Amino acid sequence: MELTSPSVIRALMSEAGITFRKEFGQNFLTSRDVVARIADSAAESEDTVILEIGPGIGTLTQELCERYRKVVAIEIDRGLIPLLGKTLAPYDNVTVIEGDVMKVDLRALIEREAEGHPVAVCANLPYYITTPILMRLLEARLPLTSITVMIQSEVADRLAAAAGSAEYGAITAVLGYYGKVSRLFTVSAGCFLPPPKVSSAVVRIDLYKEPPAVPRSEALLFRVIHAAFAQRRKTLVNALSGVAPLDKATLLSLITSQGHSPTVRGECLSTRDFIALADAIDEKTKRPQ
């Protein structure tokens, strides 16, 4: 069954008595080439267990089953479950779970399904919930080697932006703490049914086994990053007033002692710079002289 064919997709959905659910971000892939490229990028080792979010009608799932040890796919739309039973019937290395990826206990699921094999996430993500899904995967510190996802092209630019560029933001700096982001390729709206309003891109996050530097306080690091970008036009020293009980002169001396200009803005600091600054703030707050 050629699942990238629009007529096959329509026929399968009509047989199942279902329609595209916009509220679930359903834009199904119709390009064989794109599906194959995403599946190829998902992991290095064939021994990997792939966690797929939103299998839809199973197009990417089939390609992942062909390449890797096992696929565990979580789908929120109950109407798609019987259809997936049909399209994935030829594969004995797939488990489909009906559920919301924001609610499923992913750690328990991985422990149960992966049995010690490497695990990677691969998905054509529903765009309405891209950032919350990524943050949930990262903050939970799941034992993942990588996350390969199709997302809106604009969001991909932001995730992979270099410090100092206009696209660089809090999410870029936070992601830089968990892994190395690479923008792999762009995908046009014509490769989906129905076509989304925006173009898309595939990014891969290779997760660090150990963070590049360990902050004294993760909570303070994230507070500093978010405050630095909350009002982009403010200088860093002004943006940070309020994240710690330090006066402006003290904050300024911490910023300049790290080698930054007194008027530096948040977008010029790399993740490592933020870690160093948050550590300096933490130390000053706890051991004021």
What is each CA distance from 176 to 17, 164, 168, 172, in whole angstroms?
44, 14, 11, 6
Rg value, the chain, Cα: 22
* Rounded-to-integer distance, Cα 43 and Cα 50, Å: 8
Residue number of the CB atom closest to ligand SAM: 54
Q: Which is nearer to ligand SAM, 25 or 215 (CB)?
A: 25
* Rounded-to-integer distance, Cα 126 and Cα 101, Å: 11
Both structure tokens of 150: 């199709």
Using CB under 6 A as the binding rule, whether residue 239 contacts ligand SAM is answered as no
Q: Which is nearer to ligand SAM, 155 or 252 (CB)?
A: 155
Residues from 37 through 96 that contact ligand SAM (CB under 6 A): 53-56, 59-60, 74-77
Q: Which is nearer to ligand SAM, 74 or 109 (CB)?
A: 74
Q: Could you tell me the smallest distance in angstroms from the CB atom of residue 66 to ligand SAM?
A: 15
Applying CB under 6 A, which of residues 12, 13, 28, 144 lies at the interface with ligand SAM?
28
Residue positions counted in the chain: 289
Using CB under 6 A as the binding rule, whether residue 169 contacts ligand SAM is answered as no
Residues from 111 through 130 that contact ligand SAM (CB under 6 A): 124, 126, 129
- Residues ≥6 apart with Cβ < 8 Å to 200: 150, 151, 152, 153, 156, 186, 187, 188, 189, 191, 192
> Using the 8-state DSSP alphabet, how is residue 226 labeled?
H
Residues at the contact surface with ligand SAM, assessed by CB under 6 A:
24-29, 53-56, 59-60, 74-77, 100-102, 124, 126, 129
